[in-house]
Amino acid sequence: MDAAGKPFAPACERNREPILAVLRDRFADRRAVLEIGSGTGQHAVHFAAAMPWLTWQCSDVAANLPGIRLWLDEAALPNTPAPLELDVGGAWPALRCDAVFTANTLHIMGWAEVERCFAGIGAALPDDGVFVAYGPFKRGGAHTSDSNRDFDAWLRARDPRSGVRDVEALDALAHAAGLARTGDVAMPANNACLAWRRDGAARR
């Protein structure tokens, strides 16, 4: 918690500027973004303030919505509607968005949830829609650093369903959902921003 009683994640403060640099490029021509797994809400208020041309729609499981509302209410931005309840493994609400963003969620979800997440994103995005995911990823089945290997072991000890995901496995899910990868940006602390674009040709 911060001094005002809002949920607070130090990692969000550390990574928000590098992520913003990617999103300014990828979302320059976007209008409505769905954030999956908004967590504390810190990213949402920072990105929505920096990119006022976007409507930034937060979403998360019900338990996290009160904390997100605290951040949104304090910021009082005109482009952050009330957060939506969204469990990616369940039913998705009807959404209007031309971009999706998520940070540090794919390694927390079980693989079945990751599969449903990509399917839901593919269904929600229109042609030319964009999906950007931030976090640690494996390449060709191998970790990119010792710290990511240790993090993966910690994740799996806590919940065997979780773990750092292979870029190639995510690309396969994206392809099945009609998305083709268009970006792969190295980020601090052995993380990356991956970007995919909705393209009917990706299904073939």
Element (H, E) at 7: none
Q: Which residues pair with 134 in a beta bridge?
A: 103, 193
Tally of CA atoms within 13 A in the half-sphere of 105 that contains its CB: 23
pLDDT above 70 covers what percent of the chain?
96
Element (H, E) at 26: helix 10-26
Q: Are 92 and 120 in contact (CB under 8 A)?
A: yes
Domain boundaries, the chain: 10-203
The encoded tokens of residue 144 equal: 């990119």
SS3 at position 100: strand
DSSP assignment of 118-181, as one string?
HHHHHHHS-TT-EEEEEE-EEBTTB-SSHHHHHHHHHHHHH-TT--PEEHHHHHHHHHHTTEEE
* One-letter identity of residue 198: R
Query: Strand 130-135 to strand 191-198: parallel, antiparallel, or no bridges (unpaired)?
Result: antiparallel
pLDDT of residue 17: 97
pTM of the predicted structure, to 2 decimals:
0.95
Tell the CATH topology of 10-203: Rossmann fold (3.40.50)
pLDDT of residue 3: 59
- Cα distances (angstroms) measured from residue 6 to each of 65, 68, 114, 120: 12, 8, 28, 30
Rounded distance between C-alpha atoms, residue 179 and residue 196, angstroms: 6
pLDDT of residue 85: 96
pLDDT of residue 186: 97
Tell me: the pLDDT tens digits for 134-159? 999 999 999 999 999 999 999 999 99
- One pLDDT digit (tens) per residue for the chain, 204 residues: 675 688 999 989 999 999 999 999 999 999 999 999 999 999 999 999 999 999 999 999 999 999 999 999 999 999 999 999 999 988 888 888 999 999 999 999 999 999 999 999 999 999 999 999 999 999 999 999 999 999 999 999 999 999 999 999 999 999 999 999 999 999 999 999 999 999 755 443
